[in-house]
Amino acid sequence: MSARPGLRRAARHRIEYAFLRAVAAVCALLPEILADRAGAMLGWVVARVGRPRWGVVSEHLRMAFPERDERWRRAVGRRCYAHLGAEAVAMFRLAGMSARALRERTRVVGIELLEAAAREGRGVVVVSAHLGNWEVGGAAVIARGCPMDIVVARQRNELFDRYLTRSRERLGFGIIPRGEARADVLRSLREGRAVGIMGDQDARRAGVFADFFGRPASTARGPAILAMRSGAEMIMLFAIREPGWRPRYTVHLEPLAPATKGGRRARRDGSVRALTRAFTSRIEERVRAHPDQYLWLHRRWKTTPPDAAGKDGATRPDPAPSHSM
């Protein structure tokens, strides 16, 4: 009896994987514009018919943009689903692209920041968000000769997890599993490599509470702690999709205040909070400019502050970084 749930789960995972490979094959065969528009249309239909997590999206848009009317928020929410559909197709096609094809589809502003760090052997913590297409952003950087490792969370479906890992490795990403992140990230940074970490997910009680759209949001301290421990720079990465029928992106690389290595615990904790709030503020600025390209489905304000004043709270001394780009 106890084996049956495991067997059902394995069968479900095989079906999901077979469906994934079939969709990936169709996306690869279709002309790029047609595949992209089909993905956007599917996302739009899901927003109008299936509406998964529509309540979460609507609530978050009301929290983030209280000054906007309901009609505007509804339109942004629907465009968010259409964007997710189009970018899902882009991800299926991405693994088969050459470096040249990636360079043709992307423009990188600020690549000199990573190039200079690589020449000097300095590590870089690259913080991104679920905005635009973060994986395209990392791949565009690699396609221009700047190596990057990324911290990834393992998928529950092992077949899909292996597929995703192979796809990322073909693009040149170095993979650091989240459970092993702390030591491996520090090693990469000390070797002068760039490491990509997402900075906009709920970190539960282990996080720092940083204001996001005027509300305290639990935010992972890992990027700031790792930068301070290694003395690495911190750089923001945003890959924004440009208007038009063809999937084209501008990747923005922006420096953040340099981390200070070492120091007393109180001073270090203060610096961690300051850096975390700084990159959260940068993320908010970009999301305000492109709200329809943000992942509003994620429960960003799920964890409430330990008191009504929203003071910082954490229960673990050194949390692992959040998952991948």
**Domain count of the fold of the chain:** 1
> Residue 240 pLDDT more than 70?
yes
Q: Which of 106-110, 160-164, 171-175, 279-283 has the lowest mean pLDDT?
A: 160-164
| Largest Cα span, the chain | 60
Q: Region 306-317: what's the mean pLDDT? A: 51
Q: What is the mean pLDDT of residues 300-324?
A: 61
DSSP string, 130-184: SBB-HHHHHHHHHHTT--EEEEEPPPSSHHHHHHHHHHHHHHTPEEEEGGGHHHH
User: How do residues 60-85 score in pLDDT, each as one tens digit?
Assistant: 999 999 999 999 999 999 999 999 99
Residue 304 lies in a domain: no
- pLDDT at residue 1, rounded to an integer: 47
Residue 250 within any structural domain of the chain? yes
Predicted confidence at residue 175, as pLDDT, reads 93
Whether residue 173 is predicted with pLDDT greater than 90 in this model: the reply is: yes
Rounded CA gap, 181 and 158, in Å?
A: 19
Contact 197, 256 (CB under 8 A): no
- For tokens 């059902």, the residue is 8
Q: Strands of 249-255's sheet, edge to edge?
A: 106-109, 249-255, 233-241, 124-128, 194-198, 148-152, 174-177
Comparing 259 with 234, the larger pLDDT belongs to 234
- Does 325 map to a domain? no
Q: Say if 299 falls within a structural domain.
A: no
Query: What mean pLDDT is reported for the chain?
Result: 88
Q: 309 pLDDT band (50/70/90 cuts)?
A: very low
First to last CA, the chain: 40
Count of CB atoms situated within 10 Å of the CB of 104: 12
In this predicted model, which residue has the larger pLDDT, 237 or 13? Answer: 237
What are 119-158's pLDDT values in tens digits? 999 999 999 999 999 999 999 999 999 999 999 888 888 8
Quick check: is 318 in a domain? no
Is pLDDT of 206 > 90? no
Range of the domain at 269: 3-293
Taking residues 274-292, report their average pLDDT.
97
Torsion 73-75-80-81 (CA) sign: positive
* 311 found inside a domain: no
Residue 321 pLDDT grade (very low, low, confident, very high; cuts 50, 70, 90): low
pLDDT score recorded for residue 9: 84
Residue 316 counted as domain residue: no
User: Quick one: pLDDT at residue 154?
Assistant: 84
**How far is residue 47's CA from residue 239's CA, in Å, rounded to a whole number?**
23
Tell whether 41 is covered by a domain.
Answer: yes
Q: Which helix (H) or strand (E) holds 312?
A: none
**Encoded tokens for 150:** 């990324």
> At residue 261, does pLDDT exceed 60?
no
Q: What is the C-alpha to C-alpha distance for residues 40 and 86, in angstroms, rounded to an integer?
A: 4
pLDDT at 115 over 80: yes
Residue 322 clears pLDDT 60, i.e. is over it: no
